A and B are shown apart, each in its own frame.
Chain A
Amino acid sequence: MGSSQHYRFHKLSTVQPNSSTLETLQKLKKLQNLVQQSKVAAANIRQVIKALDKVAAQAGQPFLFSKCLEINERLVRNTLARCDDVKYRTFRAGQAKALLVYINGLTDTNKLETNVIDCLMLVIDSAKYEKRQISKAENEDASKGPHDSFNETLSDNIALVRRRTKDSDLKVEILEIGARTKTSVALLYIDDLVKPGLVDEVRNQLLAIRIDMVILAANIEEFLTNQVWNPFPNVLATERPDKTVAGLYDGRLSIIIDNSPSVLILPVSLQDFMQSVDDYTTRPSVASLIRFSRYISAFLAIFLPALYICVVAYHPGMIPSGLSFFIAELRAKTPFPASIEALLMEALLEIFQEAIIRLPQKLSAAAGVVGALVIGTTVVEAALANALLVVVVATTGLASFCMPSYTFATALRVFRIPALVAAATLGLYGVAIFFVVMIVYLCSLHSYGESYLGDLFDITLLEDWKDGLLRFPAKFLKSRPKRLGTIDKTRKGDTSGKS
Chain B
Amino acid sequence: MANLEAKDKMSPWQLGLVITSGLLTARLLPTTTLLIRDAQQFGWLSSALAGLLFYFAAYLMIRLGQQFPEETIGEYVPRLVGKTLGFFIFLIFITIPLLNIINCGITITSLYSTFLFDQTPRVILLITLLLTVIYCTLQNWGTILRVIQILIIALPMLYMFYSLIWINFDLLNLLPLWPDNFTGILQPIPYHTDYYPGYEALLVLLPLASRGKISFARAVGWGFLVVTFMYVLGIIVLVGSLTVKTGAMVSTPVIYAMKSVELPGTFIERLENYMITLFFPVTYISMVISYFVVAEGCRKYFKCKDHRTFIPIFLPLIFFVSIFVDNPERHAILIKFSMFLAMFFSFIIIPLLLFLAWRMKGRTQRCPTE
Residues of A within 8 A of B (CB): 21-22, 25, 32, 36, 195, 197-198, 201, 205, 225-226, 314-315, 317-321, 426-430, 432-433, 435-437, 439-440, 443-444, 446, 448-451, 453, 456-460, 485
Contact = CB atoms under 8 A, between A and B. Distances in A.
A68 B17 CA distance: 63
Contacts of A427: 116-117
B107 to A, nearest CB: 14
Given A225-B1, A318-B269, A451 B116 contact: no
Given A436-B151, A457-B153, A451 B305 contact: no
B149 A451 contact: no
Interface residues of B, number: 41
B2 A453 contact: no
A191 B149 CA distance: 33
Interface in B118-171: 124-125, 128-129, 132, 135-136, 139, 142-143, 146-147, 149-153
B8 to A, nearest CB: 12
Contact of B2 (A32, A320, A428): A32
A89 B129 CA distance: 69
B2 A449 contact: yes
Contacts of B128: 426, 429-430, 433
A430 B152 CA distance: 19
Contact of B135 (A201, A437, A451): A437
A433 B129 contact: yes
Contacts, number: 112
Contacts of A440: 132, 135-136, 139, 143, 147
A314 B149 contact: no
B116 A428 contact: yes
Interface stretch (B240-248, B273-281, B289-297): B273-281
B125 A201 contact: no
Contact of A432 (B149, B269, B277, B305): B277
Contact of A319 (B117, B124, B132, B269): B269
A197 B269 CA distance: 55
A430 B4 CA distance: 36
A437 B277 CA distance: 15
B125 A429 contact: yes
A369 B357 CA distance: 77
Contacts of B149: 457-459
Nearest to B288: A440
Q: Is the interface of B mostly helix, strand, loop or mixed?
A: helix
Given A318-B268, A320-B267, A22 B125 contact: no
Contacts of A448: 1, 4
Nearest to B139: A444
21 contacts: A32-B2, A225-B1, A318-B268, A318-B269, A318-B270, A318-B274, A427-B117, A429-B112, A429-B116, A429-B280, A439-B147, A440-B143, A443-B150, A444-B139, A446-B3, A449-B3, A451-B146, A453-B150, A457-B150, A459-B13, A485-B4
Contacts of B136: 436, 440
Interface of B: 1-5, 7, 11, 13-14, 17, 112, 116-117, 124-125, 128-129, 132, 135-136, 139, 142-143, 146-147, 149-153, 267-270, 273-274, 277, 280-281, 284, 305
B116 A314 contact: yes
Q: Is the interface of A mostly helix, strand, loop or mixed?
A: helix
A491 B146 CA distance: 27
Nearest to B112: A429
A116 to B, nearest CB: 45
- In the A-B complex, the 6 residue pairs with the smallest Cβ-Cβ separation, listed nearest first, are A449-B4, A443-B146, A449-B3, A432-B280, A440-B136, A317-B270
B273 A318 contact: yes
Contact of A439 (B11, B112, B150): B150
Nearest to A324: B269
B117 A439 contact: no
Contacts of A22: 305
Contact of B305 (A21, A450, A485): A21
Contacts of A321: 269
Interface centre among A205, A430, A444 (most CB of B within 10 A): A444
Interface centre among A205, A429, A435 (most CB of B within 10 A): A429
Given A195-B4, A440-B143, 5 more contacts: A22-B305, A427-B116, A439-B147, A449-B2, A449-B5
Contacts of A485: 4-5
Contacts of A453: 146, 150
Contacts of A201: 1-2, 4
A169 to B, nearest CB: 20
A154 B125 CA distance: 56
A102 to B, nearest CB: 36
Contacts of A460: 11, 13-14
A240 B281 CA distance: 40
B143 A443 contact: yes
A446 B143 CA distance: 10
Contact of B277 (A198, A205, A428): A428
B270 A315 contact: yes
Nearest to B5: A449
Contacts of B142: 451
Nearest to B303: A22
Contacts of B5: 449-450, 485
Nearest to A460: B11
Contacts of A195: 4
Contacts of B146: 443, 451, 453, 458
Contact of B132 (A205, A314, A436, A458): A436
Contact of A428 (B1, B139, B273): B273
Contacts of A443: 139, 143, 146-147, 150
A437 B1 contact: no
B191 to A, nearest CB: 28
A42 to B, nearest CB: 15
Contacts of A32: 2
B20 to A, nearest CB: 12
Contacts of A198: 4
Nearest to A453: B146
B218 to A, nearest CB: 15
B307 to A, nearest CB: 14
Nearest to B304: A22
B143 A444 contact: yes
B267 to A, nearest CB: 7
A226 B1 contact: yes
B3 A429 contact: no
B150 A456 contact: yes
Nearest to A234: B1
A439 B288 CA distance: 13
Contact of A436 (B125, B268, B281): B281
